[in-house]
Amino acid sequence: MSNLNVFNHSWNEIVFEGRNKEYGAYQLRQENPKITLLALFYGTIVCGLLVSIPLISNLMKEDVAIIPETEYVLPKVVDVLLLSKLPEVTPETKNAQAQPEKSSVKETKFVKPIMTTNTTAIAEIPPLDLKETLKTGAVDNPGDDAGAIALGQGTIDGTGKKPVDDIAKTSGEAGGGIVGNFGLDSSPEFPGGIKRFTETFVSKFKTPDVSDAMTMKIFVSFVVETDGSLSNIKVAKDPGYGLGNEAIRALKSIKTKWKPGIQNGKAVRVSYNLPISVVLKN
Q: Is residue 77 part of a domain?
A: no
How large is the average pLDDT for residues 127-143? 42
Q: Check residues 154 and 70 and name the one with the higher pLDDT.
A: 70
What is the tens place of the pLDDT at every residue in 23-77?
A: 677 677 777 788 889 999 999 999 999 988 888 888 877 655 566 667 767 777 7
Q: Is residue 191 part of a domain?
A: yes
Domain that includes residue 240, residue range: 128-143+160-280
Q: Is residue 99 part of a domain?
A: no
Specify which of 139-143, 164-168, 174-178 reaches the highest per-range mean pLDDT.
174-178
Quick one: 133 and 271 in the same domain?
A: yes
Is the pLDDT at 93 greater than 70? The verdict is no
Distance CA 5, CA 2 (A): 9
Quick one: 49 and 133 in the same domain?
A: no
Q: Is residue 263 part of a domain?
A: yes
Domain final residue pick, 18, 33, 55:
55
Quick one: 135 and 232 in the same domain?
A: yes
Confidence class for position 156, pLDDT limits 50, 70, 90 = very low
Assess contact for 198 and 272: CB atoms under 8 A: no
Q: What is the pLDDT at residue 44?
A: 94
How large is the average pLDDT for residues 193-204? 84
Is the pLDDT at 136 greater than 70? The verdict is no
Quick one: 46 and 169 in the same domain?
A: no
Quick one: 135 and 244 in the same domain?
A: yes
Quick one: 40 and 133 in the same domain?
A: no
Which range (2-6, 137-141, 230-234) has the least confidence? 137-141
Quick one: 268 and 165 in the same domain?
A: yes
Q: Is residue 98 part of a domain?
A: no
Threshold 0.85, pTM exceeds: no
Quick one: 138 and 265 in the same domain?
A: yes
Q: What is the pLDDT at residue 63?
A: 58
Quick one: 137 and 272 in the same domain?
A: yes
Task: Give me the chain's average pLDDT, please.
Answer: 67
Q: What is the pLDDT at residue 114?
A: 40
Q: What is the pLDDT at residue 46?
A: 93
Quick one: 175 and 40 in the same domain?
A: no
Q: Is residue 270 part of a domain?
A: yes
Q: Check residues 268 and 107 and name the one with the higher pLDDT.
A: 268
Quick one: 164 and 30 in the same domain?
A: no
The domain total for the chain is: 2
How large is the average pLDDT for residues 176-185? 75
Q: Give, in order, the Cα–Cα distances in Å from 91 to each of 88, 95, 96, 190, 208.
A: 10, 13, 14, 69, 55
Q: Is 214 exposed, middle or buried (0-12, 13-18, 19+ CB in 10 A)?
A: middle
Q: Is residue 17 part of a domain?
A: yes
Quick one: 46 and 178 in the same domain?
A: no
How large is the average pLDDT for residues 168-181? 54
Instruction: Give the CA angle between residues 155, 159, 164 to the nearest 5°.
Output: 105
Q: Is residue 63 part of a domain?
A: no
Confidence class for position 2, pLDDT limits 50, 70, 90 = low
